[in-house]
């Protein structure tokens, strides 16, 4: 049972402001959900995610699985009759969930962390490294072994990490972006 009142407009307004999307305008037609490739794997369908935002149910929406199963394919955004960029709202929600530490345990968040960590260290992604760390972090090191073997056989996995000259610049981007976002929302 969800208790609705006493939340005010704050959360919905913040999400609207951050995303530039008129969240309250959504009239729950469900077209986003109907076209969503991942909706059947979500706990809340995309239109419900928006509805939770409208109702100010911040904890529910930030800890839901749906925002992490989202594939960022923009189908919802392309089709929304209210011209709400739903995918953009998903971005905002994921970033907010991270700031509140509610992303822990979400596989997609872990994947993003590992991916970006590789980028931070080398300036570019090192696929082999990402694959290996993913396997270790999820406790299923051999899960992708068949694919990895195939890739190695076709020399489609670079063994040595890439390295760019401007790697410091890239690290600076990570640092500064994190600091700025922290400042903006902290």
Binders in 31-60 for another protein, by CB under 8 A:
37-38, 40-41, 44, 47-48, 51-52, 54-55
Tokens 């392309």 belong to residue = 78
Binding footprint of another protein, residue count (CB under 8 A) = 84
The distance of closest approach from Cβ of residue 184 to another protein in the complex, given in angstroms and rounded to an integer, is 9
Identify whether the C-beta of residue 167 lies closer than 8 Å to the C-beta of residue 122.
Answer: yes
List, as one string, the DSSP characters of 90-123.
HHHHHHHHHHTTTTTT-HHHHHHHHHHHHHHHHS
The upper half-sphere exposure of residue 89, i.e. CA atoms within 13 Å in the direction of its Cβ, equals 32
Closer residue to another protein in complex, CB, 95/104: 95
178 binds another protein (CB under 8 A): yes
Q: What's the sign of the alpha-carbon dihedral 13, 178, 65, 128?
A: positive
Residue 158: alpha-carbon gap to chain centroid: 27
81 binds another protein (CB under 8 A): no
Among 14, 24, 132, 141, binds another protein (CB under 8 A): 24
154 binds another protein (CB under 8 A): yes
Among 11, 75, 89, 102, binds another protein (CB under 8 A): 75
Closer residue to another protein in complex, CB, 63/115: 115
Residue 180's closest CA among 77, 99, 66, 100?
99
149 binds another protein (CB under 8 A): no
Closer residue to another protein in complex, CB, 63/128: 128
Residue 75: alpha-carbon gap to chain centroid: 16
The upper half-sphere exposure of residue 96, i.e. CA atoms within 13 Å in the direction of its Cβ, equals 22
The distance of closest approach from Cβ of residue 63 to another protein in the complex, given in angstroms and rounded to an integer, is 15
63 binds another protein (CB under 8 A): no
The distance of closest approach from Cβ of residue 177 to another protein in the complex, given in angstroms and rounded to an integer, is 4
Token digits of residue 113 = 């962390």
Closer residue to another protein in complex, CB, 58/123: 123
Q: Which of residues 118-147 bind another protein (CB under 8 A)?
A: 119, 123-125, 127-128, 131, 134, 144, 146-147
């Amino acid at each position: 049972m969800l208790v609705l009142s006493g939340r005010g407009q704050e959360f919905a307004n913040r999400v609207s402001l951050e995303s530039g999307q008129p969240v309250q305008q959504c009239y729950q037609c469900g077209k986003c959900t109907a076209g969503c490739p991942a909706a059947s794997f979500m706990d809340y369908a995309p239109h419900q995610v928006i509805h939770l935002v409208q109702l100010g149910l911040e904890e529910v929406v930030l800890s839901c699985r749906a925002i992490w199963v989202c594939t960022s394919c923009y189908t919802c955004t392309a089709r929304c009759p209210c011209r709400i960029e739903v995918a953009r709202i998903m971005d905002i929600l994921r970033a907010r969930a991270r700031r509140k530490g509610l992303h822990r345990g979400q596989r997609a968040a872990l994947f993003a962390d590992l991916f970006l960590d590789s980028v931070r260290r080398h300036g570019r992604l090192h696929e082999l490294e990402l694959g290996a760390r993913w396997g270790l972090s999820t406790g299923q090191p051999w899960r992708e072994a068949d694919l990895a073997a195939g890739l190695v056989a076709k020399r489609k996995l670079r063994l040595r990490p890439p390295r760019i000259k401007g790697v410091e610049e890239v690290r600076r981007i990570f640092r500064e972006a994190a600091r700025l976002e922290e400042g903006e929302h902290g």
